[in-house]
Amino acid sequence: MVTDERPSTSQGRESSSTGQKRRKLNDEENDDGSNGETILKKKSKGEKNDVNRGASTSKEENKNVEVKRKWWKEDKRDNGVRWTFLEHNGPVFAPEYEPLPKDVTFYYDKKPMMLSRRAEEVATFYAKMLIHQSSVKSVFKRNFMTDWRKFMINEERKIIKELEMCNFQEISAYFMEVEEKKKNMSEDEKVELQNEKKAIEEKYGFCTVDGRRQRIKNYKVEPPGLFRGRGRKVMGKFKAGITPEDVTINCSKDSKIPTAPSGHKWGSVCHDPNVAWLARWKDPIRGGNCYKYVTLSHSSDLKGQMDLRKYETARRLHSKIDEIRKEYWEDIQGEDMLIKQRGVAMYLIDKLALRVGNEKEKGETADTVGCCTLRFQHIKLREEQDGKKYIVFNFLGKDSVPYRNKVSVEDEVFQAFQLIRENKRKGNKLFHLLDAAELNRYLQSKMKGLTAKVFRTYNASMTLQKKLEELTVSAKTDEEKIVAYYQANKAAALLCNHQRSTSKNNDNAMKSLKSKIQKKAKAIKDAEKTLKRAVKAYEVSKTPEKKTIVKTKKKILEKLREEKRELQREETLMKRGKEIALNVSKIYYLDPRTTVAWCKKHRIPIEKIFTPAEREIFDWAIEMATQDFRFDGLINSV
């Protein structure tokens, strides 16, 4: 473990799940295996509408950084260079492990047992997990036990052989007590902790890019712990702590190279202006050529420029899409098996937004696949009584998200799948003549910069635009229009298979919302009774004072009704998006200018759709897009 002498926000031991709440969105920007990025979003509460409806932004949201440069008004150029000067202070590392107090005991076979330092540390990770559902899964237990034994000394291995005979209860209770103490800190202690966090963020959470101060998204290195992600094969495995020796720093040659923690040195230092990351290290779980990255905040100038280029590339596809579809349709019906497989793969990438699917490194990673790595068992062919032909998909996609879909296909596509599956069995690659490199070369030959991700971005953004046009027609009120937007957002998220795990927190949030609605309904009934009494009193006396009271009571009642409608709308959206990760598509795949144009056209306050964090990320789109913007409109190259 690394003792980072730079200030740490950690008080005591961190939970093994630290950072897991932030992992869902981390891979979406990079389909090349990069990992580690985080989107931290807070839902807007009680925001007031800007007087300029449909185009409002908050002046206070970015007060910790310099006034934003309006880069979108400058000359556009893309020569591959991301920066000319980059300086930062490197990442912040997790604190070194502190041994358990002497009165906190581990038991094996009902007997107290002292553990060696490393074995005890890994045991604490499991003890912290006892309150989570993951810890009861057999694969989690099996993986933990296998990895834990690697950290035991010989004497411990001889004794500890069965996890069922281990008792971690005292350790678990100790950490629950630590967490409880944190919750019950005095106000002075909370202020001190907050000041410490601010000091760390001020020093390590910002960097200088081409003379401008920019926010860094994920400057803290994840502490060691147990893997809790969706990947079944790796669930419960030990995630090693990262040391400075594992880290590659990227900065400009003329900058001050970050100082490594005392007693350590960086693994390497590079000066590559053609990449956007500040530091990287190999993913301790996936290994191979999979890396985690420290990057700039999504609201930074550089990320905004990259987003704009990404969406403009996707828009350029619109002028090529008919030609590409015509060609792959001919390929599907062709005789050459390689060409046929490529045509079917293109069909899947276009119609179902599947990823290309790069070959994975060998090792204990989840069995995730993409288009080129689909195997015989991942699809089934169905001819049903309705006369239609279906392909049934069932496999693990990126981040081990299940992809289950039953799709009606044309006869030609069905027949092509039949031919491709001939003489194959479980375990055989479906597209045995096609690999990711070959498919990517073909994509590039059709249009410069074309990738499967560009297809996903194009189809997701087109889905949003089309659905907004369809669903807004019948929407009369602002509430109905906002629901229409979320339905369109959901359609795009479903296309991209953006899912999230349901949890107790989701259920608790739903219960809390229902309770608020019930309380609001009761308050409305009480307000109605109060108003009736006030009206009767006014009818008796007809005094100005009584008239004012009636007006006040009416305003109170209308406000309560509006609050109830808002809660009910939130409940509807929560139900509809319970298992759909709407924000993933919104952040990474939906051109924000489509949303901004829709808001301006229908006079919907932008804060009703974009959170403060999203408004900061998409400030360029909010200013650039007029109500006439169309994703499929004519564009200039960017």
pLDDT band at 579 (very low <50, low <70, confident <90, very high): low
Q: Are residues 367 and 441 in the same domain?
A: yes
Q: Is the pLDDT of residue 51 over 70?
A: no
Identify each DSSP E strand in 289-364 by its residue range.
291-295
Residues 273 and 252 sit within 8 Å (Cβ to Cβ): yes
- Whether 489 maps to a domain, the answer reads no
pLDDT band at 48 (very low <50, low <70, confident <90, very high): very low
CATH number reported for the structural domain that contains residue 390 in this entry:
3.90.15.10
Whether the pLDDT of residue 62 is over 50: the answer is no
Residue 55 domain flag: no
Give the pLDDT of residue 635.
56
Among 8-22, 113-127, 584-598, the least confident range: 8-22
Question: What was the pLDDT predicted at 371?
Answer: 92
Question: Residue 423 and residue 48: Cα distance in Å, rounded?
Answer: 64
The SS3 call for residue 624 is: helix
Q: Could you say which of 545, 567, 589 is where a domain stops?
A: 567
340 and 441 together in one domain? yes
Instruction: Please identify, among 402, 421, 446, the residue that sits at the C-terminal boundary of a domain.
Output: 446
Indicate which CATH number applies to the domain containing 127: 1.10.10.41
- pTM metric for this prediction: 0.71
Report whether pLDDT(162) > 80: yes
212-215, strands of its sheet edge to edge: 86-87, 206-209, 212-215
Please indicate, yes or no, if residue 438 is contained in any of the structural domains: yes
Q: Is residue 511 part of a domain?
A: yes
- Examine residue 631 and state whether it is found in any structural domain, yes or no: no
Cα Rg of the chain, angstroms: 28
Q: Which of 515, 532, 567 is the last residue of a domain?
A: 567
> DSSP code of 101?
P
Residues 509 and 426 grouped into a single domain:
no
**DSSP code at position 600:** H
Is the pLDDT at 338 greater than 60? The verdict is yes
pLDDT tops 80 at residue 494: yes
Q: Strand (E) positions, 397-451?
A: 402-409
Q: So which residues are the catalytic ones? A: 589
Contacts of 230 (CB under 8 A, 6+ apart): 366, 399, 400, 401, 501
149 lies in some domain = yes
For all residues of the chain together, what is the average pLDDT? 85
- Determine the pLDDT at residue 8: 38
The helix-helix angle for 321-332 and 411-421 (nearest 10°) equals 50
Give the pLDDT score at 564: 87
Helices 337-351 & 411-421 angle (0-180, nearest 10) = 130
Q: Is 336 found in the same domain as 406?
A: yes
Tell me how far apart the alpha carbons of residues 509 and 532 are, in angstroms, rounded to a whole number.
35
Structural domain of residue 547, as residue ranges? Answer: 503-567
pLDDT > 70? residue 29: no
Instruction: Establish if 220 belongs to a structural domain.
Output: no
Quick one: pLDDT at residue 56? 40
Q: Are residues 326 and 438 in the same domain?
A: yes
Are 428 and 334 in a shared domain? yes
Residue 498 has pLDDT above 70, yes or no: yes
**Burial level of 592, CB count in 10 A (0-12/13-18/19+)?**
buried
Q: Is the pLDDT of residue 227 over 60?
A: yes
Question: pLDDT tens across 429-484, in order?
Answer: 999 999 999 999 999 999 999 999 999 999 999 999 999 999 999 999 999 999 99
Under 8 Å between Cβ of 395 and 374: yes
pLDDT of residue 232: 66
Domains of the chain: total: 3
339 domain residue, yes or no: yes
